[in-house]
């Protein structure tokens, strides 16, 4: 069962993860067609088995999230190819947006091992290796505090949080991006972001402190 007020993902038997924010828009993709609530700016996106799937490099924005400043979704691996799921914040139609992704390029088909704070549509920026592999499925929360973006990844292995200062602000608006056989689900647009969290707080790691990696999705 899906709920839009509180994302609940069954990760292991008897274990539930729940993430709550002030919600402005939501989409559980529990229908046959994507419809006009999403506008695709690159590639193709569709619904399959009540989950969002797309071509490699696909990107779309939610028309009901125009005033949102954060976004969250469940990211699910669909195979052992290079895959990522991304949350885009800003003017996605105009390319003036942050593009924050988690990615699997280790060939396992079961864990995410890298992430990135990019701009545009996978347009480059800071790419890094996660402190430890994250099992699929994973809940990805992305929001800004001023010019600093926070990426929170929740899974059956716990929570990893990363921050990155873009040095600029972006307009409101939220979108989703795909690469490979990845699947996305239970999207929520965040109307009111959580209070600013200083990078020194335990459990928060500035992305600049993480090791660099080769982004195979760009090849």
Give the Å distances, CA to CA, from 84 to 41, 52, 112: 17, 13, 8
CATH topology of domain 25-193+203-211: Jelly Rolls (2.60.120)
Q: CB under 8 Å to 158, separation ≥6 — which residues? A: none
Give the Å distances, CA to CA, from 171 to 6, 67, 98, 218: 26, 9, 10, 26
Summarised one tens digit per residue, pLDDT across range 59-105 is 999 999 999 999 999 999 999 999 999 999 999 999 999 999 999 99
Contact of 113 with 216, CB cutoff 8 Å = no
Summarised one tens digit per residue, pLDDT across range 133-181 is 999 999 999 999 889 999 999 999 999 999 999 999 999 999 999 999 9
User: What are the sequence ranges of the domains in the chain?
Assistant: 25-193+203-211
Residue 151 CA to its chain's centroid (Å):
8
């Amino acid at each position: 069962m899906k709920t839009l007020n509180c994302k609940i993902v069954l990760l292991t038997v008897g274990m539930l993860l729940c993430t709550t924010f002030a919600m402005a828009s939501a989409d559980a993709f529990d229908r046959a067609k994507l419809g006009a609530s999403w506008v695709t700016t690159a590639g193709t996106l569709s619904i399959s088995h009540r989950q969002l799937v797309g071509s490699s490099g696909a990107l779309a924005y939610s028309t009901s999230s125009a005033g949102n400043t954060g976004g969250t979704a469940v990211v699910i691996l669909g195979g052992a190819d290079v895959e990522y799921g991304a949350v885009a914040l800003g003017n996605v139609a105009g390319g003036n947006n942050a593009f924050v992704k988690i990615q699997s390029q280790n060939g396992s088909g079961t864990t995410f091992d890298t992430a990135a704070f990019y701009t545009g549509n996978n347009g480059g920026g800071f790419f890094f290796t996660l402190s430890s592999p994250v099992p699929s499925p994973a809940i990805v929360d992305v929001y800004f505090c001023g010019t600093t973006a926070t990426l929170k990844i929740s899974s059956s292995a716990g929570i990893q949080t990363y921050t990155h200062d873009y040095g600029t602000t972006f307009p409101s608006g939220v979108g989703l991006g795909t690469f490979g056989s990845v699947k996305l689900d239970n999207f929520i647009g965040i109307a009111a972001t959580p209070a600013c969290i200083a990078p020194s707080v335990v459990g928060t790691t500035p992305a600049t402190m993480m090791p660099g990696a080769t982004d195979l999705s760009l090849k």
